[in-house]
Amino acid sequence: MSSEWPLWEVFIRGQHGLNHRHVGSLHAPDAELAIRHARDVYTRRNEGVSIWVVPSAQITASAPSEKGPLFEPANAKVYRHPTFYDIPDEVGHM
Amino acid sequence: MYAQMVKSEATNEDPEMLAAFQARIDAGERIEPKDWMPEGYRKTLIRQIGQHAHSEIVGQLPEGNWITRAPTLERKAILLAKVQDEAGHGLYLYCAAETLGVTRDDLTEQLLSGRMKYSSIFNYPTLTWADIGAVGWLVDGAAIMNQVPLQRTSFGPYSRAMIRICKEESFHQRQGYDLIRKMAEGTAEQKAMAQDALNRFWYPSLMMFGPSDKDSVHSTQSMAWRIKINTNDELRQKFVDQTVPQAKFLGLTIPDENLKWNEDKQGWDFSEPDWSEFYEVLKGNGPCNTDRIEARQKAWRDGAWFRDGLMGHAKKAEARRNAGRIAAE
């Protein structure tokens, strides 16, 4: 018999003002119970102020093999960084 | 150690891919679930993480045994929190194993059928309240020895689970030491119970690290893959060196007449545990093997209607929501 509960990805906001961050996954029959389980599994020591759960099957991820085409173009664009530009000392902090 | 004698799987793959993979590990990169990995790496990790997860879950049983009999409400609350943590640790690890392509049901089935193991230590009984102290102090102490270096293991999800577990594990060891200290400083009878617990748990704790693996090919492969960081002997020595002064502070005696400070190695010499006992326990002939597996089988069986009921409810609720949506369109 396999009626395994579906898998959910859990995201927790650690403190007010921070992003929700992926902390792990768990099995639950529905979203409501996924939140309750996430409370028990991932916030036993006040680790969070808010929880998101998302069905794992709903997540689309980039393929590791696409790492080059996806991210390498940014490598060549050094002019996007402030350190690319020389500002004379006399100008002061900028 | 919660994963004992994990055999590494042979790998038969393109040498170029293998070399590139090894180079990533040597460079300290983390391997993530969707990355290419040798089949042997995947299988060995499933076995190791699965065994580790099973140990956390079965490890709840010897301690759960004392929840209703804890001597004070505070001790009961502490023990409940600890046992709940063990459940959490099991869940972090199962999820890490599942990223490698094995299902939770499959892992559960393998535990219940005895095809996958859990740590030998949980096949020993907790006969007195002092044993609960010894479990926290020695068993969790030994587990930490292994888990701290595994935070740097090469497989990302395993490493992240270990980081989370290590944050919580220190509470486990400290509450155990605190408990046994209260008894060691109590009446003569209480102190005798503490000594008795140390006597019974000392050698089984040393066995947790597994037999010497100096010449083991499996260990060599696992260390190259960084899913094993130290040898069993290194960790055992570290554990003894850490524990001897702690026992001395309590006024308790380590049950080993060969225990002697070795100035040259700056560590303690100690007796090996009885490895024939270890192999018997692994074979299923320890004092509690049958009880432990039966308890897990019963929990799985008795929970089936509940798991199915919640799933049935979730499906119906979803169908109702969909029907509502269609009616509204």
pLDDT in tens, B296-329: 999 999 999 999 999 999 999 999 999 988 877 7
pLDDT tens-digit profile of B69-119?
999 999 999 999 999 999 999 999 999 999 999 999 999 999 999 999 999
Q: Does A40 touch chain B (CB under 8 A)?
A: yes
- Residue B214: CB atoms within 10 A of its CB come to 10
In contact, B157 and B165? CB cutoff 8 Å = no
| Stronger pLDDT, A80 or B216, i.e. the higher one | A80
Sequence-ordered alpha helix ranges (H) in B10-59: 15-26, 39-58
**The predicted structure's pLDDT at residue B258:** 97
Q: Which residues of chain A have pLDDT under 50?
A: 1
In degrees, rounded to 5, the angle at the alpha carbon of residue B303 between the alpha carbons of residues A11 and B87 is 45
Which pLDDT score is estimated for B12? 73
Cβ neighbours of residue A32 closer than 8 Å, sequence gap 6 or more: none
Q: With beta carbons less than 8 A apart as the criterion, state whether B87 and B60 touch.
A: yes
pLDDT attached to residue B93: 97
Mean pLDDT of chain B: 94
B223 bridge partner residues? none
The pLDDT tens digits for B41-78 are: 999 999 999 999 999 999 999 999 999 999 999 999 99
The lowest-confidence range among A27-41, B170-184, B214-228, B231-245 is B214-228
DSSP A54: E
Residue B120 has pLDDT above 90, yes or no: yes
Q: Does B39 touch chain A (CB under 8 A)?
A: no
User: Has residue B7 got a pLDDT over 80?
Assistant: no
- Is pLDDT of B216 > 70? yes
Spatial contact of A43 and A12, defined as CB atoms under 8 Å apart:
yes
Tracing tokens 């009616």 back to the chain, one arrives at: B327
d(C-alpha A55, C-alpha A35), whole Å: 12
Nearest Cα to B198, choosing from B147, B146, B132? B132
Interface probe, candidates A25, A37, A60, A62, chain B, greatest B C-beta count within 10 A = A25
In this complex, do B85 and A44 lie within 8 Å of one another by their Cβ atoms?
Answer: yes
Report the C-alpha gap between B249 and B216 in whole angstroms: 37
| Mean pLDDT, rounded, for B135-140 | 97
How do strand A20-27 and strand A7-13 relate by DSSP bridges? antiparallel
The pLDDT value recorded for residue A1 is 44
In the prediction, which pLDDT does B77 show? 97
Integer Cα distance of A31 and A11 in angstroms: 13
d(CA B151, CA B156): 9
Q: Which residue has 């070399």 as its token pair?
A: B19
pLDDT reported for residue A73: 84
pLDDT of the residue at A2: 56
Residue B162, SS3 per DSSP: helix
Query: For residue B155, what are its two tokens?
Result: 């497989």
B103 to chain A: which residues are within 8 Å by CB?
2, 4
Whose CA is closest to B62, among B135, B112, B130?
Answer: B135
Residues of A in contact with B34 (CB under 8 A): 61, 63-64
pLDDT digits (tens, 9 = 90+) for B164-191: 999 999 899 999 999 999 999 999 999 9
Is the CB of residue B5 less than 8 Å from the CB of residue B210? yes
Average of per-residue pLDDT across B33-43: 94
DSSP line for B258-299: T-EEETTTTEEE-PPP-HHHHHHIIIIISSSHHHHHHHHHHH
Predicted confidence at residue B192, as pLDDT, reads 98
Listed in sequence order, the residues at least 6 apart from B83 whose beta carbon sits closer than 8 Å to its beta carbon are: B60, B63, B64, B67
Cβ contact, residue pair B92, A29, below 8 Å = no
B132 CB-near residues (< 8 Å, 6+ apart): B63, B66, B70, B79, B126, B176, B179
Cα–Cα distances in angstroms (integers) from residue B210 to residues A12, B83, B120, B243, B278, in the given order: 37, 24, 9, 18, 8
Expressed in angstroms, the distance from the first to the final Cα of chain B is: 59
Which residues 64-103 of B are in CB contact (within 8 Å) with A? 81, 84-85, 88, 91-92, 95, 98, 103
